[in-house]
Amino acid sequence: MKGAIIGDIIGSTFKNIDLGDTDFQLFKPDSAYTDDTILTIATADSILNKKDYEQTLKEWVRAFPRAGYRPKFLEWALSDQSTPYISKGEGAARRISPIGFAAQSVEEALSEAEKSTRVTHNIPERIKAAKAVAATIYMCKHAGTKKEIKTFIGQAFDYDFSLKVEDWKQRKITPDSETSPVEPAFAAFMEASDYEEAIRLAIVIGGPSNTIASIAGALAEAYFKHIPKSITKRALSRITPEMQEILSVFEDKYLKFSEQEA
């Protein structure tokens, strides 16, 4: 889960920037969490405390209303209206990682991902994306190989794993394009040999770098089971004590990976 949050924080200062290559400074003075982190924490809180996904999401948005949400989403989250919010964005896929880590089976990962996604993204393509991410995290956590993941996710969700990071980089993903950040995030994860490389590859793709890095970071944490302590320390010093508490309790319960100095 913290892999997603770290990816969001690092990626926050590189949105829609063409870096050229992966040789860049990971952290800048203004590196900060965005709405991706808030919604990920909300999902974890819901799982830990057996709370309704919608209720918990709205609680966290109301506590942190200036994290960069889309205006219409913020209006919905701050209101008491019971009608669902239907978004065409990737908010569900980027907040879904706690479900993949907490699930006891791939079937549970898929069903809970769909349940969470329907709250805000009740659209087949968005449900598919969230389920693909949650299922992959479950498989990674339980020692699934990249070959097994490509086979299962490719067949179940019709994802094309032939496209590489460089291919996605050339496509110039923009806020107005219809390209989902989920498949580019998969490409970064598949090409990486460790967590840091996954983040660097995700960000160099360009476009919504914090979202791509958040998704790739979650996959990489589950698969490599190691994030350098130096990266973790610098990133998580940027979140609040309330967020740190949820993150700590969640990871103690659902995953406990050893950390070493980079």
Binding residues for Mg(2+) are 34-36, 211
d(CA 226, CA 206): 25
d(CA 90, CA 218): 15
Tokens of 43: 């999902």
User: Distance between CA atoms of 105 and 94, rounded to whole angstroms?
Assistant: 20
CB 170, CB 180: distance < 8 Å: no
d(CA 150, CA 191): 12
* Residue 49 neighbours by CB distance under 10 Å: 10
* Cβ neighbours around 144 below 10 Å, total: 20
Residues of the binding site: 34-36, 211
Contacts of 47 (CB under 8 A, 6+ apart): 98, 99, 102, 250
